[in-house]
Chains A and B, each alone.
Chain A
Amino acid sequence: MIDFIIGIVASGIRMSTPALFAALGENIAERSGVLNLGVEGMMLIGAFAGFIGTFVTGNVIVGILFAIAGPMVMAALMAFLSVSLRTNQLVAGLAIWLLGVGLAALLYRLTFGVVTVAPTVPTIPLVDIPFLSSIPILGPIIFHHDAMIYLAFLLIPLTHIFLFKTSIGLKIRTVGENPKQADTLGVNVNKIRYMSVIIGGAFAGLGGCYIALVTTGSFSENIAAGQGWIALAAVIFGRWRPFWIVIGALVYGMVNATALGLQSIGTTIPFQFLLMLPYLLPIAILAVMYKKSVAPAALATPYKRGER
């Protein structure tokens, strides 16, 4: 029984990691006042870029760098649309999403054509943390993973420190709450927003390439399978605070893993119901939490100097 639960929790952590990466980055973008709905598209570009980088060079580090760079370009485009051109951020975000879906699929087809055997790369292996991984229960749950999960663990406090303990973090939050005031104080609003959105893109890329380089070792169309949207929900769930966002992402992963685990031991609950839970639960929680959530005041509002 205990092994069964350990299995589910470890699987839940793995399943929440892509969304966790993306959510931590999206939080930074949203904190600066830019709602980027294009996360899912950026994850797909990240998955493709990470895969192709690893496939061509045979070096997974290069692959990950590709996966960070590709979505950063997409994010720069998002920032250009929403910050410089001041278009409606919802529309721009949806456009970026669809662009990512189509572009990743197109580039994959252009590179490999219609292949009946999908090209693969070796997946990033598991690394047991010495000593810690032999702790009973906690060891196999937390310290028996691949290197990218440890990176995700590391980024949780780092994004918190970045946002709340550094002067640049303060600038980001001020721009997201009251861009006019920030501008008066000599903060370059547009520059901060560009930077935040592009950092968000890099994180989305990490989330995307986790799927391609750790989980599957291959790329396929729509491989992100909606996890970018889960990331957006996790940000709201976490009320724009990194440590709470982690819980949002974990809820999704854990419920998912539990649904799979219950099927494995044989249950009379219809599988359709179990598979709906990971999506139903966040909606239910969001509905309850929504009133309490405090979004950055200037979220999704373009800033124009001299306008009231």
Chain B
Amino acid sequence: MSKRSEVRKLSGAIAGLMVAVILITGSSFSYPTLQLVWAQAQDEGTPLKVALLTDALFSDGGWGATAYNASQALKEKYGLELTTVENVAIPDIEPTLRDFADQGNNLIIAHGFEWGDPALRVGADYPVTKFVVFTGLTNGSNVASVFPMQQEGAFVLGAVAAMMSKTGTIGFVGGQAYPNIINIFEGYKQGARYINPDIKVIGQYIDTFTDPARGKEAGVSLINNGADFLFHVADLSGQGVIQAAKEKGIYALGVVADQHNLAPDTVLTSFVLDMEKAFDQAINMVQNGNFSGQLYKPGLEAAKGASGDGIVFIAPFHNLDSKVPADVKQKLNQIVQDIINGKIVVPERTEASS
């Protein structure tokens, strides 16, 4: 044997050893750990990477629009690296979540109940990424849901409608029979019956959030059947509902955002979700490293920015203020206070009752 072949053997052994070392460390050094190291490296000085994803449109004047505005305000406040995506098709929800988790976002705000289950599935594969589902009902170690007590806001609107209805019939239009939307209408019914046990509450589900023409015909149908208040939870379709109320000269009630601007003489009031507050809390948790995958249920607050955890509040009457009798306003404030104090408990109901 020559010296040369010995060298070759030795170098072969070293190479083999190196491969073995790489294989062993590599396998124990699993992907999530790498992600963790990388995420920690990101924490130092680099801005938080946040994505807001929704199947709604940002131009819907309510649900999507409020989320968009909230995210833009927070982008400024925290200097976030923010991506916003709208109009995600329902079947694309899971792949979209996966894409954005892959891109190394620290926090993904999934905007809508229907994002809950996909977020859980994707969250299991990306343990470092944090997910917050707005109006979701699912949670896990890195997935939190915010399920605002919208039924409390709707309760107040139902009470206002019942106090001011002349026909004794009030209506609602829903985009889909999602649990969170059923919950809102149940609250509306309970509020109306709290004032007048005999009031008739009639409703429609129209199976679309993006068809204002259908929303309008649904509204007209309710008006033809005696409703003189229309409450909608239907995003863009809801603009058609408000349009129906406007043309027939009755009041409409807005949802999620203060929808006064959509029809100033028609939208009496709205219940508003302070999404900025909710998103702010989520970002805060991620930034301070104390994210907790809980199901948060913030309730009613007296007004925007009031202290406490509430993110649901009732919008002012604006130019219609003079049309609302003083005793109605007084009763309204009383109900809001009673709900906040727990004197009135509006149970959460995610299945429709009669």
Q: With A116-B68, A271-B205 known to touch, is A260 a contact of B221 (CB < 8 Å)?
A: yes
The answer to whether the Cβ of A287 comes within 8 Å of any Cβ in the partner chain is no
CB <8 Å contact, B210 and A118: no
Of A114, A225, A257, A266, which one neighbours B211 at CB under 8 angstroms? A225
CB <8 Å contact, A217 and B243: yes
Interface string of B205-222 (1 = CB under 8 A from A): 111101111101110111
Q: How far is the CB of A109 from chain B (nearest CB, A)?
A: 8
Q: How far is the CB of A17 from chain B (nearest CB, A)?
A: 10
Interface string of A114-143 (1 = CB under 8 A from B): 111110100100000000000000000000
| Chain B residue at minimal CB-CB distance from A227 | B213
The answer to whether the Cβ of B310 comes within 8 Å of any Cβ in the partner chain is no
CA distance A184 to B222 in the complex (A): 59
Q: How far is the CB of B67 from chain A (nearest CB, A)?
A: 10
User: Which of A116, A218, A266 has most B Cβ within 10 Å?
Assistant: A116
Q: Which residues of B contact A225 (CB under 8 A)?
A: 208, 210-211, 213-214
CA distance A115 to B177 in the complex (A): 27
Of A118, A215, A263, which one neighbours B216 at CB under 8 angstroms? A215
CB <8 Å contact, A215 and B221: no
| Chain A residue at minimal CB-CB distance from B213 | A215
Interface string of A96-125 (1 = CB under 8 A from B): 000000000000010010111110100100
User: Which of A3, A4, A15, A216 has most B Cβ within 10 Å?
Assistant: A216
Q: How far is the CB of B49 from chain A (nearest CB, A)?
A: 21
CA distance A301 to B68 in the complex (A): 48
CB <8 Å contact, B225 and A216: no
Q: Which of B270-310 contact A (CB under 8 A)?
A: none
CA distance A114 to B66 in the complex (A): 11
The answer to whether the Cβ of B262 comes within 8 Å of any Cβ in the partner chain is yes
Of A114, A115, A120, A275, which one neighbours B207 at CB under 8 angstroms? A275
Of B60, B204, B208, B243, which one neighbours A260 at CB under 8 angstroms? B204
CB <8 Å contact, A220 and B217: no
Q: Which of B7-64 contact A (CB under 8 A)?
A: 57-61
Q: Which residues of B contact A159 (CB under 8 A)?
A: none
CA distance A7 to B58 in the complex (A): 34
Q: With A3-B224, A116-B66 known to touch, is A218 a contact of B212 (CB < 8 Å)?
A: yes
Q: Which of A47-90 contact B (CB under 8 A)?
A: none
How many interface residues does A have (CB within 8 Å)? 38
Interface string of B182-224 (1 = CB under 8 A from A): 0000000000000000000011111110111110111011101
Q: With A118-B61, A264-B204 known to touch, is A218 a contact of B213 (CB < 8 Å)?
A: no
CA distance A109 to B86 in the complex (A): 13
The answer to whether the Cβ of B341 comes within 8 Å of any Cβ in the partner chain is no
How many interface residues does B have (CB within 8 Å)? 40
Q: With A3-B224, A263-B204, A264-B225 known to touch, is A11 a contact of B257 (CB < 8 Å)?
A: no
| Chain A residue at minimal CB-CB distance from B72 | A114
CB <8 Å contact, A220 and B65: no
Q: How far is the CB of B232 from chain A (nearest CB, A)?
A: 14
The answer to whether the Cβ of B2 comes within 8 Å of any Cβ in the partner chain is no
CB <8 Å contact, A260 and B239: no
CB <8 Å contact, B236 and A220: yes
The answer to whether the Cβ of B116 comes within 8 Å of any Cβ in the partner chain is no
Q: Which residues of A contact B203 (CB under 8 A)?
A: 263
CB <8 Å contact, B218 and A211: no
Q: Which residues of B contact A211 (CB under 8 A)?
A: 213
Of A115, A217, A257, A275, which one neighbours B221 at CB under 8 angstroms? A257
Footprint of B on A, CB under 8 Å? 3-4, 7-8, 11, 14-15, 18, 109, 112, 114-118, 120, 123, 211, 215-218, 220-223, 225, 256-257, 260-261, 263-266, 271-272, 275
The 7 closest A-B pairs by CB, nearest first: A116-B65, A7-B224, A216-B212, A264-B225, A260-B221, A225-B211, A215-B213
18 intermolecular pairs with C-beta atoms under 8 Å apart: A114-B58, A114-B65, A114-B68, A116-B61, A116-B68, A116-B69, A118-B60, A216-B216, A220-B210, A221-B59, A222-B210, A223-B211, A223-B212, A257-B217, A260-B218, A264-B204, A264-B224, A265-B225
